[in-house]
Amino acid sequence: MSNIKKVVLAYSGGLDTSIILKWLQDQYGCEVVTFTADIGQGEEVEPARAKAQAMGVKEIYIEDLREEYVRDFVFPMFRANTIYEGEYLLGTSIARPLIAKRLVEIANATGADAISHGATGKGNDQVRFELGAYALKPDVKVIAPWREWDLTSREKLMAYAKEHNIPVDFAKAGKKSPYSMDANLLHISYEGGVLEDPWCEPEEDMWRWSVSPEKAPDKPTYIELEFKFGDVVAIDGKPMSPATVMELLNKIGGANGIGRDDIVENRYVGMKSRGAYETPGGTILLKAHRAIESLTLDREVAHLKDELMPRYASLIYNGYWWSPERKMLQTMIDASQETVNGQVRLKLYKGGVSVVGRKSVSDSLFDEKIATFEDDAGAYNQKDAEGFIKLNALRMRIAARKRHR
C-alpha cells in the first residue's frame, strides 16, 4: 500500500501527462494536483483545466509565469552571455528550474507527499526537474512514471487512454507527430523524426517561428535596444517588461529569418542528441548584450566572464540552477553588470544580426581622445609602448639567449 496520498503533477493537458494523471490515480491510489505553467509556449493553457476536472482533479493550478520566467531566469542567464557547447542558447534548460520551484511550492501549499513529471528516463529534463526539487525540498518524493511503467510505445499509450476513457482527441493523437517539440518565450526545440539522422537536413515546414533566410525581406530591419544593468528595458525607445521584450524580439527576429540552429549536443546522461532550435529573440539579445559590454566592461572583467561562462552554461544545462556554485557565479556576474548601461543599434538581414552602433553616456570606457588615429594632443604617449613591450618580452629574450649559446 502506497503512503503517497497526494501528488503535484506538472501537467500540460496533452496525451502523455493526461495518461500520467490517470496512472498516478490508479497506481498510487492518490489524489493528484495539477500544475500548468504558461511560459510563452504559444498554446492556450486554460483547456488543461477542463481536462483535469473531467478526470476528477479538485486542485488545479494554472499560472502565467511569463514575466517571472524572463525576469528571473532568462535575463540573469544572458547577463553571462551563456552558450552551451558553443551554440545552444539553453531555451529548454532554463525553463526547468522555474517549473521545479513551482512544483515544490505547490506541494508545500497543498500538503502533497510527492511531485511528478513527464520527462523520460533518457533525457536531461528528468535531471533538471529533480535536482531543482531536491535543492529546494531535500526530502521530496519524486515520481517519474517513464522510469516505472511499461507503457513504452505510443501504441501502448493510446491503448491505455482508450481503456481508461481518458479525454484525448484520439483522431489528432493518433497521427504521430514527426517531432518532439518544446516551446517557451526563449525558444522552440525539435527532436525526433528525420532529425535522428544527423546527416538529414531539417524539413523546411518543420520551423514554426521563423521564415527561411532566403525568404526573409530584401530590406534590412534596424532596431535599437536599451540596456540597464545588463538587461533590455526598452526597444526603439519604448519601455517594455521582460516578457514583452522577448515577445517582440522573437517576432522581429523570426520575420528576418534569425535564430535557426541545428546541433548535436552532449546530454548529461551520456548520449549525444541531435536537435534543431529556433531562438530568434535570444540570438538578437546575445549579440546586443556582448556589444554593450564591449563598450562598458573592463577588459579583465570581460575576459574573466568569458572564461567562467562555459562552466556556468554547463551548470544550467545539467540542472544545477539552484546549486550554491551557480548562485555564487550569479552574484559575480550580476555585480559585473552595474555599468552595462546604454544603447545598441542592430541591423537584421536574412538570418544575420549585425551591430551597427553602440553608446553609453555614463559608462562607456571608450576614450576617443586616446583611441584616435588623428592627433591626440598628448593624451597617449606612444614612447611608453617601448618599455611595455620590452618588459613583456623579457622572459622570452632571456630564454632565447640561453638557447642560442
In this structure, are residues 168 and 161 in contact, taking their beta carbons and an 8 Å threshold? yes
Cell of 177: 507527430
In this structure, are residues 152 and 164 in contact, taking their beta carbons and an 8 Å threshold? no
Report CA-CA distances (Å) from 121 to 143, 307, 371. Answer: 12, 32, 56
In this structure, are residues 244 and 262 in contact, taking their beta carbons and an 8 Å threshold? no
Residue in 38, 113, 125, 231 annotated catalytic: 125
Residue type, 180: S
Positive or negative, the Cα torsion across 234, 240, 246, 251? negative
Q: Angle at Cα 321 formed by Cα 285 and Cα 69, nearest 5°?
A: 50
Q: Whole-angstrom distance between the N-terminal and C-terminal Cα of the chain?
A: 85
In this structure, are residues 179 and 152 in contact, taking their beta carbons and an 8 Å threshold? no
Q: Residue 106 — φ and ψ, nearest 5°?
A: -70, -40
Specify whether 180 is catalytic. Answer: yes
List, as own/partner pairs, every contact residues 401-404 make where C-beta atoms lie below 8 angstroms and the sequence separation is at least 24, other chains included.
Answer: none
Residue in 66, 79, 96, 326 annotated catalytic: 96
Residue in 12, 16, 128, 274 annotated catalytic: 16
Specify whether 212 is catalytic. Answer: no
Question: How many other CB atoms sit within 10 Å of the CB of residue 176?
Answer: 10
Cα(131)–Cα(298) distance, integer angstroms? 35
Q: CB neighbours of 183 closer than 8 A, spacing ≥ 6?
A: 40, 41, 42, 43, 189, 208
In this structure, are residues 21 and 9 in contact, taking their beta carbons and an 8 Å threshold? yes
Report CA-CA distances (Å) from 268 to 64, 80, 127. Answer: 29, 21, 8
Q: CB neighbours of 130 closer than 8 A, spacing ≥ 6?
A: 100, 117, 142, 144, 319
Report CA-CA distances (Å) from 92 to 131, 257, 307. Answer: 15, 21, 23
Cell of 349: 538581414
Cα(189)–Cα(208) distance, integer angstroms? 10
Cell of 57: 482533479
Residue in 49, 72, 180, 364 annotated catalytic: 180
Q: Which residue numbers are catalytic?
A: 16, 96, 125, 180
